[in-house]
Amino acid sequence: MRVLLTGAAGFIGSHIHRALAAAGHEVIAVDLMLPAAHGVDATPPPGVRRLDVRDPEALDAVLRGIDAVCHQAAVVGAGVSAQDAPAYAAHNDLGTAVLLAAMDRAHCRHLVLASSMVVYGEGRYRDTPIDFIPGPRSRADLDSGLFDHRAPTGEPLDWTPIDESAALRPRSLYAASKVAQEHYALAWATATASTVTALRYHNVYGDDMPRDTPYSGVAAIFRSALEAGESPRVFEDGRQARDFVHVRDIAAANVAALTHPLAPFTPLNIASGHPVTIGEVATILATAAHGKPPVVTGDYRSGDVRHIVASPEKAHRTLGFTATITPQQGLAEFAHAPLRAAAGVGAPTWR
Ligand code: UD1
């Protein structure tokens, strides 16, 4: 099939590009080459052309004869300051809206959208008699080292996997932009009788991940610390749970979603199915890198969620997708994997 891939020069997009080409698909690969992600004056890599998804004429030119769009272009990270809001809104939300309108003009009826587990906010907690979805943790609790969510009785609550039917509760600028992208895509699918599969990625890591920046995920931050001969610094008590999914599995999920349209709007968690704690992530990386052991600092970042663990069951049932790389194998490999040579600079801009 002929696929338009946006964000094709990025960490995830470049893996999807290779996976699609290896599966015999024709890929029209585009990327804006944002300085915040690729550095100042970066030129597109071979096989990728520069394109801003907010440019309707440019989209009309590349969408001719396209069977499906794989939309990975986005400003990522959690948002460092309120000044980042226009960049998330412009690139992620206006960009998606312009793309959807252009897809309609081109009669292109299938979209695979990069979404994120951040749409769920705090995740889901086991309580009796019903599962419980808490609000943000209080600063007073965090300051006194009480990191777990607690039941009204004061008992600490443990996580339970969240599924796609959960309400969306964005907590960051990035999360807000991902929820809006999903909502625009859902409305478009209904209005145009099209199909959208929104892949809610969990914590992605792997070869060619960007180095340590304020917008990087924790695996790259730990990896960069170890490379510099320092200990990974683990926040809270290190027992916060996540699901780390390898970028090659993310690419495989995208290929599956592109070739199996699910009507009309289907959100799917894309996770390894093997949750780990952040302390375990630091230990696996430090051990595999023969680096300094992790330090659990007790610090916290405001806006961080305690646990977020998703059920990968629906992706398996509907798409036949199961991740093949466990975090234990994948993170040990990642300890020695190459990181991106070019580093992004500064905060994302939007004009
Ligand atoms: C991350 C991404 C989010 C993405 C999601 C799913 C970032 C900033 N967040 O969310 O955009 O949608 O995965 O792929 O990219 N931590 C430490 N030490 C550090 C830094 C972080 O212990 O030096 C801890 C944090 O407190 C948190 C955990 O590691 O508990 C995970 O942090 P992070 O990688 O930023 O990601 P998520 O919030 O899970």
pLDDT digits (tens, 9 = 90+) for 129-159: 566 777 889 999 999 999 999 887 888 888 9
How far does the centroid of ligand 1 lie from the alpha carbon of residue 286, in Å?
A: 18
pTM beyond 0.85: yes
Sign of the alpha-carbon torsion through 142, 145, 151, 157: positive
Tell me the pLDDT tens digit for each residue of 223-260: 999 999 999 999 999 999 999 999 999 999 999 999 99
Q: Which helix (H) or strand (E) holds 103?
A: helix 95-105
Q: Which atom of ligand 1 is nearest to the CA of 174?
A: 11
Q: Which of 72, 75, 181, 203 to mutate to test the pocket of ligand 1 (most atoms within 8 A of CB)?
A: 203
For residue 202 and ligand 1, the question of a CB distance below 6 A is answered with yes
Q: Tell me which residue of 32, 61, 73, 68 sits closest to 49, measured CA to CA.
A: 32
Q: Which of 112, 157, 142, 41 is nearest to 266 (CA)?
A: 112
Greatest extent of the chain over all pairs of C-alpha atoms, in Å: 60
* Residues 120, 185, 109, 99, CA torsion sign: negative
Give the position, in ligand 1's atom list, of the atom nearest the Cα of 301. Answer: 26
Please work out whether the CB of residue 244 comes within 6 Å of at least one atom of ligand 1: no
Cα(133)–Cα(62) distance, integer angstroms: 43
How many angstroms from the chain centroid is the CA of residue 334? 17
Could you report the per-residue pLDDT of 277-318, keeping only the tens digit for each?
A: 999 999 999 999 999 999 999 999 987 899 999 999 999 999
Query: How many angstroms does the Cα of residue 176 sit away from the middle of ligand 1?
Result: 16
Distance 242 CA to ligand 1 centre (A): 9
* Residue to probe by mutation, ligand 1, list 218, 224, 237, 243, most atoms within 8 Å of CB: 218
Residue 224, ligand 1, Cβ within 6 A: no
Atom index in ligand 1 nearest the CA of residue 225 equals: 23
Q: If DSSP codes are grouped into helix, strand and coil, which group holds residue 79?
A: coil
What backbone phi and psi angles, to 5 degrees, belong to 287?
Answer: -65, -50
Burial (CB count <10 Å: 0-12, 13-18, 19+), residue 71:
buried
